[in-house]
Amino acid sequence: MQNKEFDILVVGAGIIGTSVAAELSRRGAKVGVIDKGTVGRGCSYGNAGWMTPCFSMPLPMPGMFLKSMKWLANPNSPLHIKPSLSLDLAAWLFHFMKAMNETQARRAVEGLVVLSQKSVDEYRKLGEKYPKTRFEQKGLLMVSRTKEGVAAAVEELEYVRGVGVTGKQMTGEEIMAFEPAFRPPMLGGVYFDQEAMGEPFQVVQAMADETRKHGGEIIENCELIDLEMSGGKVTKALTSQGEIKFKEIVIATGSWSKSLAKMLQLRIPILGGKGYAMIVPKLEKQPKYPIMFIEKKIAITPRENSLRIAGTLELVDQDFSITQRRVDNIKKGASELLYLPEQLQVEELWAGLRPCTPDGVPLIGYHNKISNMMLAVGHQMLGLQSGAGTGLLVADLIDKKKPFVDLEIFAPNRF
């Protein structure tokens, strides 16, 4: 690569980086995107494909203290924090505990719902242009076979209803009539009627296509190695393929952001929330709706000729290894709910690291220490559902437009 120059350089071509690049390119900026791998092969590759504003609750909700202690102790729980002596984990847990308060949770949910609803609108438009994204808005079922699970689903509905998410509580019988693919017994749950889904990898490819169509350039296998600073600004990126100059830079490096923070001596406490997804052949009794099995935290997404089953969140630091026990737990949980064949054939098994901030809210905006650098990282469990909205928000900030959501909750220098 010859040395390059752009108005805006975006680092990272996952759903966040490509959404930012697509929007800035549409607005006429000369945009370059670099990725150390290829487009959409990070955490955005194999996620459940949900675009679901109802899942805007941050991980550290009030009253979670005891639960999180259990996660530390139990390696089989759907959410697990691997105990370790690392200072990074200790700092992360400190901020996690601090964020478990009602005021913080309400503000987070409000901001994340706005970002997610904007995103759903954008994905609908994208789906009209790029049918391969398979955008569908038929709602989502959150179901349970236990009293506690049903109570948690209803609590979630009550929480997000106040900020414009719609849904209705259903009895077990109503759910069985609505979605006959379930194995009885079913106790109850909630149907969120406005939720959408799509093919996550295809959505990223569509955003990348939009970027190129509007004059942007995407450079793959190009790793950001260092940044040159002068007078409180970043002036140049040193990459594995040469130097790149720019006026502004947007960092969208997902769960890899911590090493970048070290490079710039900034505090960006992001750990990876490892999760697995497997593709299995279409079932004889294939569900029609995306399903959240609440007590097992398993996400099931029907696809045209297959089914995606995803789950678990294990807090790790750049560890992509696959733990068979956790994969088996996902299969077992899904087979309690659906008629899976005894010998389940797994067509694809994938692990991804959700970029998790301790307060469950992404970092979006200019960093107060570097005036031409914007962060768009830490989208944890909701990077797809809030990705397109993040693209609009970042573009508005670069264009000096009034942001459509209160920025304070997303402040990149809050830790």
Ligand X SMILES: Cc1cc2nc3c(=O)[nH]c(=O)nc-3n(C[C@H](O)[C@H](O)[C@H](O)COP(=O)(O)OP(=O)(O)OC[C@H]3O[C@@H](n4cnc5c(N)ncnc54)[C@H](O)[C@@H]3O)c2cc1C
What does the binding site for ligand X look like in residue numbers (CB under 6 A)?
11-17, 34-37, 41-44, 47-50, 223-224, 252-256, 275-277, 310, 352, 354-355, 379-385
The distance of closest approach from Cβ of residue 370 to ligand X in the complex, given in angstroms and rounded to an integer, is: 16
- β pairing state of 291-293 and 298-302: antiparallel
Q: Rounded to an integer, what distance in angstroms lies between the CA atom of residue 140 and that of residue 269? A: 32
Contact 395, 24 (CB under 8 A): yes
Residue number with CB closer to ligand X (172 or 383): 383
* Tokens of residue 49, six digits: 């494909």
Q: Which is nearer to ligand X, 12 or 216 (CB)?
A: 12
Within 13 Å, how many C-alpha atoms sit on residue 102's CB side? 1
In whole angstroms, the minimum distance from the beta carbon of 375 to ligand X comes to 11
Nearest distance from residue 303's CB to ligand X, in Å?
13
Largest CA distance in the chain: 65
Q: Which is nearer to ligand X, 77 or 255 (CB)?
A: 255
Minimum separation from the CB atom of position 409 to ligand X (A): 17
Nearest to 405 by CA among 394, 414, 385: 394
* Closest to ligand X by CB, 172 or 198: 198
Of residues 172 and 378, the one with the C-beta less far from ligand X: 378
Closest among 221, 218, 261 to 9, alpha carbons compared: 218
172/338 with CB nearer ligand X: 338
Nearer to ligand X, 170 or 384 (CB): 384
- Token pair recorded at residue 289: 């709706």
Task: Specify whether the CB–CB gap between 170 and 182 falls below 8 A.
Answer: no
Whichever of 177 and 225 has its CB closer to ligand X, that residue is 225
Q: How far is the CB of 87 from ligand X (least distance, A)?
A: 22
Q: CB nearer to ligand X: give 20 or 398.
A: 20
- State in angstroms the smallest separation of the CB of 205 from ligand X: 12
CA distance 1 to 322: 35
Cβ within 8 Å of residue 327, ≥6 positions away: 276, 278, 349
- Least separation, in Å, of the C-beta of 349 and ligand X? 11
Question: Least CB distance from residue 387 to ligand X, whole Å?
Answer: 7
Shortest distance, position 355 Cβ to ligand X, whole Å:
5
- DSSP of 111-180: HHHHHHHHHHHHHHHHHHH-GGG--B---EEEEESSHHHHHHHHHHHHHHHTTT---EEEEHHHHHHH-T
Q: What per-residue string of b and e applies to 83-97 under the rule 16 or more CB within 10 Å gives b?
A: eeeeeebeebbebbe
